[in-house]
Amino acid sequence: MMSRNHADIGVGTGYFLDRCHYQPGEVRIGLFDLQQNCLNFTAARIARFEPETYLCNALEPMPTSAARFDSIALGGILHCIPGDMLEKGAVFDAIRPLMHAGTQVFGYTILNQDITKTMLSRCVYAVLHRLKVINGDQDSAGQLKSALEKRFQNVEVSTVGCIALFSASTPV
């Protein structure tokens, strides 16, 4: 789903960006994160692509100095944001300045409601929650789909174990 004109919101370590199939000079990548250290690490990791970096809060409107993107990834950020999915949906509003009519938004998040949990998944979730790595006690695929459908005409949400994979396009 990653296009040649791509934004990554909540960049983490840049693992997936580092493995994209594009060659230097073929792609524009914008990195958006609240943590300067994450931006620095990921920008260095994918330096061959000469990424643009933006220090910002994903819950507030994104910098309008950035040109619009064809694809926007929200990989692993939603389950890090405190609050319920209604509050987390503010991310979809915040990225609006980065979008045009054809922008494809996609990502994944960890769920904690309306899923089958194994003993291991319950333990891992509890530890990560206690460490404040994840904040999604009430998160469900249904809530995610609802938050997306308020903002996009085309929405797909599927689950694999405790993970929701989503894509959305055509802003309302």
The residue range of the domain holding 52 is 5-171
Nearest Cα to 90, choosing from 108, 77, 75? 77
Compute CA distances 60 → 2, 33, 35, 39, whole Å: 23, 11, 14, 17
Question: Looking at the 3D structure of the chain, how many domains does it have?
Answer: 1
Residues 158, 145: contact at Cβ < 8 Å?
Answer: no
Q: What is the model's pLDDT at position 33?
A: 95
pTM: 0.92
Q: What is the model's pLDDT at position 64?
A: 74
CATH number, domain with residue 84: 3.40.50.150
Q: 163-171 and 104-110: which strand pairing?
A: antiparallel
Q: Which residues of the chain have pLDDT under 50?
A: none
